[in-house]
Amino acid sequence: MSNRLLIRDAPPPTVAVELAAHRVSAAALEFRGGRPVVVLHATEPLPEGALVPSLVAPNILGRTVVAEALARVLDHVGRPRRIGLVLPDPVAKVSLIRFGQLPARIEDLDQLVKWQVRKAAPFPIDEAQVSYVAGARAVRTVSPGNPGTATPGHPGMNDEGHEFVVTVARRSVIQEYETLCAEAGAYAGLVDISTFNVINALLAGSAPPQGDWLLVNVATDYASLAILRQADLIVFRSRGVESDEKLTDLVHQTAMYYEDRLQGTGFTQVLLSGASLHPAADVDEVRRNLQERLGTAVETVDARGAAALTDRITAAPALLDTLAPLVGLLLRDRGAAA
């Protein structure tokens, strides 16, 4: 997924910032002997209600307090002029769509993609920022898909088509975040959502997941599930989540969909990210509950597989969860770490 979903694209910077519902975080990366190393990091908490991720409504409600937290974080990582920006998953709608044939001109493909997702967008498509990338070449399906629920495929088994991962965000929402960074002196040339960059961190590691694998990315206000076949996304679901029971239900439903509709034969790995950042979560209990539902071991994501930490940085679980999407954004397109 290292070249996947981008709301806005540019060459990778050396500093990434994440603006999430309850915190602002940043990390700076250097290459030492050809190996990526996290050399600086910082996190500032945000009060409840200061930043409320939404696809359709204004997100930054406590602008002054968020701006002050962002300024402190940028001070800690050297006041970069250019950054990558990680946003909460709920700011974008992700769909998987497939076409039997593609037009010859890229401009026509742009219009075809927009036409396909326009009905699922909760705002006019001319207010949207639409991004798309090529997805899996072939996915096993048994019934028609619905782009609004990120379901791939046309009828039939193993039908060859052209699949795309499409994201739709409201342009004004993305501009909220970009403007806040610009006012702090940092240009956000690369913008993406959290779960896709946790995936990027895993794929950039020394032992990226193989076969079909599941990522469960948990935030305080949502949970996102991604099933990948090697590096190709085949299922994406994101929902608001208030309890571990609802999370395990969502995981179970997604796993059943994978088995029944995509003829999945089982996960080689199940990975959990973000749980240690949830104030009410017991990570071990979350892992146990997921393991019981899935009948397979659940591992936590460790960004050190993609980027080492300097000796002065202590690798606490909360820090590793914080670093995963930041490292993933900074190592996008670099492939497995050496």
Q: What is the 3-state secondary structure (H, E, C) of the chain?
A: CCCCCCCECCCCCCEEEEEECCEEEEEEEEEECCEEEEEEEEEEECCCCCECCCCCCCCECCHHHHHHHHHHHHHHCCCCCEEEEEECHHHEEEEEEEECCCCCCHHHHHHHHHHHHCCCCCCCHHHEEEEEEECCCECCCCCCCCHHHCCCCCCCCCCECEEEEEEEEEHHHHHHHHHHHHHCCCEEEEEEEHHHHHHHHHHCCCCCCCCEEEEEEECCCCEEEEEEECCEEEEEEEECCCCHHHHHHHHHHHHHHHHHHCCCCCCCEEEEECHHHCCCCCHHHHHHHHHHHHCCCEEECCHHHCCEECCCCCCCHHHHHHHHHHHHHHCCCCCCCC
Give the whole-number percent of the chain exceeding pLDDT 90.
Answer: 71
Q: Kindly state the average pLDDT of the residues 118-142.
A: 79
Residue 241: is its pLDDT beyond 80?
A: no
- The model's pLDDT over 51-75, given as tens digits with 9 standing for 90+, comes to 999 999 999 999 999 999 999 999 9
What rounded mean pLDDT belongs to the chain? Answer: 87
Residue 248: is its pLDDT beyond 80?
A: yes
Domains identified in the chain and CATH numbers? 15-90+170-200+305-330 (3.30.420.40), 92-168 (no CATH), 205-303 (3.30.420.40)
- The model's pLDDT over 64-120, given as tens digits with 9 standing for 90+, comes to 999 999 999 999 999 999 999 999 999 999 999 999 888 889 999 999 999 999 988
Q: Kindly state the average pLDDT of the residues 272-298.
A: 88
